[in-house]
Amino acid sequence: MSAQGEQAVVWGLVFVYCAAMVWFGLRVNRWIRSGSDFLVAGRDVSWVLQGLGLSSIVVAGTTLATQGAIGYLSGMSAHWWVTGWCVAVAVGALAFAGFYRRTGAYTLSEWLGAYYGERVRLAASLALAIGCYFSPLANILGGGVVLSGLTGMPTDWAVIMIGGIVATYLFCSGLWGALVTDLVQWILCVVAFLIIIPAYALLGSHPGMWQRLPSSFWALGSAPALPWFQWTLPSVLGMFWLMFSIATGGFYWPRACSSRTVNETRKAWLLAVVISLPFGFVGGLAGMYLRAAGVELAVPDQAIGVFLQQIPVLARALAVVGILAATMSTVEAGVHAGSMVLVRDLGRHFGGGVAKQISAARWITLVYTLAATAGAMGFNHLIPVLGSAMAVALLAGFLTSLIPPLLGTMMWRGSSKEGAFLGVIIATATTFHTMFLSDIWRRYHPVFTGFIVSAVVFVLVSLLVRVSGPWWRERRQVAP
């Protein structure tokens, strides 16, 4: 088949996939009859659907490219990219998920507001809305770069395509649309990641080829060797902390609170862990295959692209669609979490009936997605190589400041609203300063500075308040 014919096959499948996502969004729109249907799917999400959705979030568009690069450089340690998430979600399932559901709150900031008062709610919702903004930004950009590399289309156009499709189906049907498309996206991820890549890596190899790899390539415990990876996640423990901060710092909260029951929430998260783990152990195979075959790559990030060029066109097209699916499912999670904060915490004073609430939720979701798309294009031009890694750092940096006050609501009766408010505000300002106004980020990742500042201020101020008494009065909200 000619090169043009092969491109036509790839683009044909991409078009069918995009059209299907929009169709699902329009179709599921009829299930939306209230704000809670749009935002938390009427708290009617089965544990199976929830687990598959979480798994498709864990497996992002950049997963295959990142694992391919790590696999090329250091072999099986690429699994940490997914295993780290699985450990974070497993801890979340056992310690946090049930709690999230039992609060009844739609967002983490709503719960912090219920516990500590309105000021904390406002501070937390600002940190959460800003932090979550960088999640779709990172994934739209990462997925756009990968798609651009695989299809030859300009990165900006790939970014616009991903952002536009996600915006369309989320605008139509909110969380229901996200969950239904997640199901399809997860199946496509399985085809691309668990079937195509390992099948061609194993079928295309010959006996003895794998023995050319250094023995360290088969070690599971070592930290991945990748320059930007070393900055973001200096150790396996650091990587776990980053993922834990994102998973428990409010990003997954809206998903947990949409489950049918507390028990189903836990089951869903554990299901996500079990079905996501295999993705960790096959992603690096593409890079390892190239290394074993003696292919020299100047830029390791190209590993997955080079690998896919060597497989039949239909399999390649399916892999491209799988990567696109993995990207979109992770993008929508960030959009949903961030826009929910804007609707529920910052926009709740809008009032109005059900129709107005749904309308406000739709438009805020649309604007949030488009803003993230524009941000992804901006990052692509301003920070060409490290754009996605920087965006993930910002996401984790802002979200990690919410963990100390959250833990305070769970296990420390001495925690105070003053400590929570000042901890979140000062840590948010620190993250902003670290990333935008200084070069501290080159030495210290914001996920560590943000958490340490928030925790220290939270504990010290709370202890001071026990001596001094309350620093301000909080008007208690009562039902109308």
From residue 69, give the alpha-carbon distance in Å to each of 234, 297, 312, 476.
Answer: 17, 10, 21, 53
Q: Is 33 in the site for another protein (CB under 8 A)?
A: yes
Q: Is 115 in the site for another protein (CB under 8 A)?
A: yes
Can you tell me the distance from the alpha carbon of 372 to that of 132, in angstroms, rounded to the nearest whole number? 10
Which residues ranging from 240 to 299 are in contact with another protein (CB under 8 A)?
A: 260-263
Q: Which stretch binds another protein (CB under 8 A): 14-22, 94-102, 185-193, 330-338?
A: 94-102
Residues in the chain: 480
Can you tell me the distance from the alpha carbon of 181 to that of 195, in angstroms, rounded to the nearest whole number? 20
Q: Is 219 in the site for another protein (CB under 8 A)?
A: no
Is-contact 191 322, C-beta < 8 A?
yes
Pick the binder of another protein from 34, 230, 235, 309 (CB under 8 A): 34
**Nearest approach, Cβ of 474 to another protein (angstroms)?**
10
**Terminal Cα distance for the chain, rounded:** 69
Q: Is 104 in the site for another protein (CB under 8 A)?
A: yes
**Nearest approach, Cβ of 410 to another protein (angstroms)?**
5
**Nearest approach, Cβ of 125 to another protein (angstroms)?**
11
Pick the binder of another protein from 118, 195, 205, 456 (CB under 8 A): 118
Coil, helix or strand at residue 472:
coil
Contact string (CB under 8 A) for another protein, positions 326-355, x = contact? ------------------x---x-------
Question: Tokens representing 290?
Answer: 């190239």
Whichever of 32 and 395 has its CB closer to another protein, that residue is: 32
From residue 158, give the alpha-carbon distance in Å to each of 146, 150, 153, 345.
Answer: 9, 11, 7, 32
Q: Which stretch binds another protein (CB under 8 A): 74-82, 108-116, 272-280, 329-337?
A: 108-116
From residue 433, give the alpha-carbon distance in Å to each of 238, 292, 440, 454.
Answer: 21, 44, 8, 14
Q: Which stretch binds another protein (CB under 8 A): 66-74, 103-111, 162-170, 276-284?
A: 103-111
Is-contact 370 167, C-beta < 8 A?
yes
Contact string (CB under 8 A) for another protein, positions 350-389, x = contact? ----------------------------------------
Q: Is 111 in the site for another protein (CB under 8 A)?
A: yes
Which DSSP category does 194 fall into? I
Coil, helix or strand at residue 45:
strand
Q: Is 472 in the site for another protein (CB under 8 A)?
A: no
Q: Which stretch binds another protein (CB under 8 A): 44-52, 61-69, 78-86, 448-456?
A: 44-52
Pick the binder of another protein from 77, 168, 409, 416 (CB under 8 A): 409
Whichever of 250 and 284 has its CB closer to another protein, that residue is: 250
Q: Which stretch binds another protein (CB under 8 A): 58-66, 114-122, 144-152, 213-221?
A: 114-122
Side chain identity, residue 246: I
**Nearest approach, Cβ of 101 to another protein (angstroms)?**
6
**Nearest approach, Cβ of 256 to another protein (angstroms)?**
11
Q: Is 477 exposed, middle or buried (0-12, 13-18, 19+ CB in 10 A)?
A: exposed
Question: Tokens representing 345?
Answer: 């915490």
395-430 b/e (C-beta count within 10 Å ≥ 16 → b):
bbbbbbbbbbbbbbbeeeeebbbbbbbbbbbbbbeb
Q: Is 470 in the site for another protein (CB under 8 A)?
A: no
Q: Is 443 exposed, middle or buried (0-12, 13-18, 19+ CB in 10 A)?
A: exposed
Pick the binder of another protein from 29, 43, 347, 471 (CB under 8 A): 43
Please count the other Cβ atoms lying within 10 Å of the Cβ belonging to residue 449: 22
**Helix locations, 310-416, DSSP H:** 313-341, 354-382, 387-400, 403-411
Q: Is 24 in the site for another protein (CB under 8 A)?
A: no
Can you tell me the distance from the alpha carbon of 177 to that of 49, in angstroms, rounded to the nearest whole number? 12
Pick the binder of another protein from 298, 411, 437, 467 (CB under 8 A): 411
Can you tell me the distance from the alpha carbon of 242 to that of 247, in angstroms, rounded to the nearest whole number? 9
**Nearest approach, Cβ of 349 to another protein (angstroms)?**
11
Question: Tokens representing 149?
Answer: 């590399």
Whichever of 151 and 415 has its CB closer to another protein, that residue is: 415
Whichever of 45 and 162 has its CB closer to another protein, that residue is: 45
Side chain identity, residue 153: M
Which residues ranging from 149 to 208 are in contact with another protein (CB under 8 A)?
A: 180, 183
Q: Is 121 in the site for another protein (CB under 8 A)?
A: yes
Binding-site ranges for another protein (CB under 8 A):
31, 33-34, 36-37, 42-44, 46, 48-49, 95, 99, 101-106, 110-111, 113-115, 118, 121, 180, 183, 260-263, 344, 348, 409-411, 413, 476-480
